[in-house]
Amino acid sequence: MTSNLDTPRLSRVSTGNPELDQMLGGGLVPGTLTVVMGATGIGKTQLGLQFANAGQTQEGQRGILFDMTSRGDAQNHSEYARRMSGWILKQRFIDEPCAPEDIWNYDRMRSDYFHLFERSGRRVSIQDLSHDQWQEWKIELNRKLDQAIAFFYGNFVHGVRRCVIDGVEPTDRASDSFQFHVFDYIYHQILHKDADWVARDLFRIHFRAHEAEVLKHMYDHRQIATVLLYTSHEVLLDELLCRPIESGDELSNANTIILMGKVRDGLKMRRALHVAKHRGSPCDDSIVPFEIIESGLKLGNESTP
């Protein structure tokens, strides 16, 4: 069974930043992947929150945040969201029970934030694990992914159309990162899959019992915009511009790539961003300085005292 939806696709999805939307020829393309890449502390999370928050205006529902940080580092999502827009994040926890009938309950399922590796404390490289440890980790991961399906599906059936995936940490090779293995599964098996087939993965043997509700709550995955926040080793924007793309790297699969890094301005270092890729759409190829203010990113020259 496949979905047959006549819902019109949005022409563009706002990033929540008008200046960046203008650079992107009107915004992001729905149904595609955008990768925002830069070093820790450069402003990726603030940009991701601006994008998620903009869903309230454009689609009537804020986006969701899926955190893949595995070393216990705080991403400060809750504090940033509260300070930037007064948004109090509602978290779904990894061990939170979810009965099939809960899915259709807006108050029960509508949440903002989910931390997949909460309390795991694992390193991010497959090479750090022995063969047996990797097999054990995959078994544990499969249990976590069942909760991830419930998080995404339970939000999408209630109107969410944008998601931010944060906490992807740097490794020497993308193919060594189990976080990229997880992202590949989520992107292709949840985010880019017909709603009824995601429901089959969630309900499994109980699907037939809930099929009528599934059909009443169909959504078009081609309307879902995904932003992946990808932490790099590189700090300087020039280094990111010269970074080779490895086969299988998510950069090679992205429709849009936004690079964020430091640039030298006389005797000062400033933040700047560049749209390195925006497939099938005109875009501004400038290197644009930005600063981080209380409400998020402000593009353009920094204010002078």
- Taking only the tens place, the pLDDT of each residue in 97-139 is 888 889 999 999 999 999 987 655 555 566 667 777 777 777 7
pLDDT, residue 209, reads: 95
Phi first, then psi, for residue 274 (nearest 5°) are -145, 135
Quick: pLDDT tens for 217-239: 999 999 999 999 999 999 999 99
Quick: pLDDT tens for 59-77: 999 999 999 887 655 578 9
Round the average pLDDT of the chain to a whole number and report it: 87
The answer for residues whose C-beta is within 8 angstroms of residue 90's C-beta and 6 or more apart is: 110, 111, 112, 113
Sign of the C-alpha dihedral computed for residues 196, 199, 205 and 210 taken in this order: negative
Q: Look up residue 37 and give its amino acid.
A: M
Phi first, then psi, for residue 14 (nearest 5°) are -70, 140
Q: Look up residue 149 and give its amino acid.
A: I
Query: Radius of gyration over alpha carbons of the chain, in Å?
Result: 19
Q: How many residues does the chain have?
A: 305
Domain segments of the chain as ranges: 18-299
CATH number for 18-299 (one of 3.40.1280.10, 1.10.287.110, 3.60.21.10, 3.40.50.300): it is: 3.40.50.300
> For the chain, first and last CA: distance in Å?
62
Cα angle for residues 120, 126, 129 (degrees, 5° grid): 70
pTM of model > 0.85: yes
pLDDT, residue 168, reads: 85
pLDDT, residue 187, reads: 93
